[in-house]
Amino acid sequence: MALISEASILLDGGRASRGNLTKARIRWVIAALFLVFAAVAGRLIQLGATVNDATIEGVARDIITATRPPLLDRNGLEMAVDIRVPSLFAEPRRIVDVEEAVTKLRTVLPELDEAWLRNKLTGDKGFVWIKRELTPAIEERIFQLGIPGIEFVTESKRFYPSGREASHILGGVNIDNQGTMGIEKHMDDGDLALLQELGIARDQALTPVSLSLDLRVQHAMYEQLADSLIRYQAIAASAVTVDVRTGEVVGLVSLPDYDPNDPGSINAEYRGLKNQRFNRITSGIYELGSTLKTVTLAGALDSGKVRMTDRFDARFGVRFGRFTIDDFHGKHRVLSVPEVYKYSSNIGTIKIMQAMGKDEFRAFLTKLGFDKGVPFELPEMRTPKVPEKFSEIVAATASFGHGMSISPLHMAQAYAGFVNGGIMVPVTLMKRSEAEAAAFGTRIISEQTSDEIRSLMRLNALSGSGTRMNTYANGYRAGGKTGTAEKVVKGRYAVGTNLNVFASGFPLDDPRYVMVVVIDEPKRESPTTGTTAGWNAGEVTGRIIQRIAPMLGISPDFSQMLDDQLVPAEIR
């Protein structure tokens, strides 16, 4: 009995011991599970409280991946489009082995500086750029390296199919696809529906923006201006063509230019000089010489103080103190108003301005907007330099284009108003109908004065300084005015260093377009030719009209009757 009792006690003790051990193990398992769940919960709370970095080196990812609206010419041809390209960035805080990452990346991108790359990949930053705008082939090779913390983002890259031909209009964008110049900057800064609700889209198409430009016209103008740089050994050339009914700019070229697909090329030297690749039509202001005589005659005729039948004594120069203003090739006789224009008489123009009155002449320049910037989409604009008040001598020199500086765009806008019946319509790079343009127009001269100015412009093409232009543009009833202005060098007019201009309209029997062509410092094409504007800017104008008139729906007509009808009845 004693033995059985002792065995029972031992058996009960063993069961109790095993039971206690099991309970202890269960408690440890529960504690371990609690710790695991606590760690998971803590991590979830941490992740939930973490604010993801939505920028890459300070630029929002949304902006980096955004697209811009396509830019089209008036006929729907693409001038600027977005293409999608991969760009490489790193998350340094996820890089496991910096040296390994540096070595591997340089096998694909050997142009990356080793020290620079090591510095980029070191630290705890969220995102840093490594290489922007790569090819898909490079992207695939880097993917194959399998480097933790190295990722790609798909960006939009702007591409300009027309290349250099419209560079000064289109402008350009920076590496983040933000507009920096030209119409691209205007879309970011302007009011195009805030670039169609912030002007950006993410993986969706934006409504294309249609410009007033005609790429066919642009190409023809570009070719002829590029030819003029060689033909006349000029340092620069530029031109603008405007629809006189709507104010639409259908072509605008300025040389030297740059490649908008390579924005840095705008800073390249030109003929050993810096800062030469600017838009001379909008941001260049010049003394435009005798093209201002059209302005003077328009104002004087419209004032009623001068008539087409009037005559002015141009036998002797006009004296101001110790200075005498004379004619370049003077007739030195009494001249009619048409003869003053045809022979480009400085003396006759001064006397016409004096008959009008210097204060009224100055007020007319304000009416034309010559003393303020042209309201235009391109941000590259300069304020003209026109004296606020005219003394007798300043008014005299301004009447034939000296002593005041405006842009060629100012002149094109004014000439459009002179030939279209007297309504000046603000110029624009956006498509606009005639009905829409009518709401913006301002009358600057009467219809009768407009008819008289058109007759003078055509007269100059038939028998004045525009005859060489007319030879090339024969049949398209073009007319205009030359301007040969000596440039100011170191504060003095430099003899033989000219800025040559030709301002024209066509067809003058039914005005559709005006054009201003500027050739900077042209030389003789041959020993038998000249250096004044008729020999270069005039010829270039004629060649351009010959090319673009058929594109614009203008048919040649050689009828003498059309020219006869342009002559005012009182002098016919």
What residue ranges in 194-272 does DSSP mark as E strands? 209-210, 236-243, 249-255
Collapse the DSSP code of 83 into the 3-class scheme (helix H, G, I; strand E, B; otherwise coil) and give the result. Answer: strand
pLDDT at 213: 97
Collapse the DSSP code of 312 into the 3-class scheme (helix H, G, I; strand E, B; otherwise coil) and give the result. Answer: strand
More confident residue, 439 or 18: 439
336 is an active site residue: no
The residues spanned by each domain of the chain are 66-169, 218-567
Express each pLDDT in 466-491 by its tens digit.
999 999 999 999 999 999 998 887 77
Express each pLDDT in 506-534 by its tens digit.
999 999 999 999 999 999 999 999 999 99
Q: How confident is residue 13, by pLDDT bands cut at 50, 70 and 90? A: low
Chain centroid to CA 567: 39
- Range with the largest mean pLDDT of 294-308, 309-323, 557-571: 294-308
For 363, residues 6+ apart whose C-beta sits below 8 A from its C-beta are: none
pLDDT at 26: 78
Give the pLDDT mean for 174-179: 84
Check whether 190 has a pLDDT greater than 80: no
Express each pLDDT in 91-101 by its tens digit.
898 888 999 99
Collapse the DSSP code of 11 into the 3-class scheme (helix H, G, I; strand E, B; otherwise coil) and give the result. Answer: helix
Express each pLDDT in 26-50 by its tens digit.
777 787 777 777 777 765 665 455 4
Residue with tokens 């003789």: 524
**Would you say 362 and 395 are in contact if contact means Cβ atoms under 8 Å apart?**
yes
pLDDT at 46: 53
Distance CA 382, CA 485 (A): 20
Return the ∠ at Cα 456 (arms to 318 and 508), rounded to 5°.
Answer: 155
**What is the chain's mean pLDDT, rounded?**
89
Q: Is the preceding omega at residue 256 within 30 degrees of 0, hence cis?
A: yes
The lowest-confidence range among 34-38, 98-102, 240-244, 252-256 is 34-38
Point out the catalytic residue in the list 167, 228, 290, 465. 290
The lowest-confidence range among 111-125, 306-320, 436-450, 530-544 is 111-125
Distance CA 155, CA 236 (A): 37
Return the closest-CA partner of residue 112 out of 122, 103, 100, 99: 103
Share of the chain above pLDDT 90, in %: 67
Give the pLDDT mean for 248-258: 97
Q: Do 66-169 and 218-567 come out as alike in CATH topology?
A: no
Task: Give me the phi and psi of 254, to 5 degrees please.
Answer: -140, 125
pLDDT at 174: 87
Q: Is the preceding omega at residue 507 within 30 degrees of 0, hence cis?
A: yes
pLDDT at 48: 54
Distance CA 84, CA 158 (A): 9
State both tokens at 276.
């030469």
Handedness of CA 212, 380, 487, 364 (dihedral sign): positive
Give the pLDDT mean for 55-73: 69
More confident residue, 197 or 439: 439
pLDDT at 572: 76
Pick the CATH number of 218-567 from 3.90.330.10, 3.90.1150.10, 3.40.50.880, 3.40.710.10: 3.40.710.10
Return the closest-CA partner of residue 79 out of 203, 205, 156, 168: 168
Return the closest-CA partner of residue 236 out of 546, 550, 522, 555: 522
More confident residue, 243 or 64: 243
**Would you say 401 and 483 are in contact if contact means Cβ atoms under 8 Å apart?**
yes
State both tokens at 446.
């009467």
Q: Which CATH architecture has domain 66-169?
A: Alpha-Beta Complex (3.90)
Give the pLDDT mean for 451-480: 97
DSSP 354-395: HHH-HHHHHHHHHHTTTTS----S-S-----B--SS--HHHH
Distance CA 431, CA 381 (A): 21
Q: How confident is residue 4, by pLDDT bands cut at 50, 70 and 90? A: low
For 85, residues 6+ apart whose C-beta sits below 8 A from its C-beta are: 133, 134, 135, 154, 155, 156, 157
Q: How confident is residue 176, by pLDDT bands cut at 50, 70 and 90? A: confident
- Range with the largest mean pLDDT of 23-27, 175-179, 295-299: 295-299
Give the pLDDT mean for 270-279: 88
Helix extents (H) in 241-386: 292-303, 337-342, 346-356, 358-367
The lowest-confidence range among 234-243, 266-275, 310-319, 451-460 is 266-275
pLDDT at 31: 76
Distance CA 128, CA 147 (A): 15
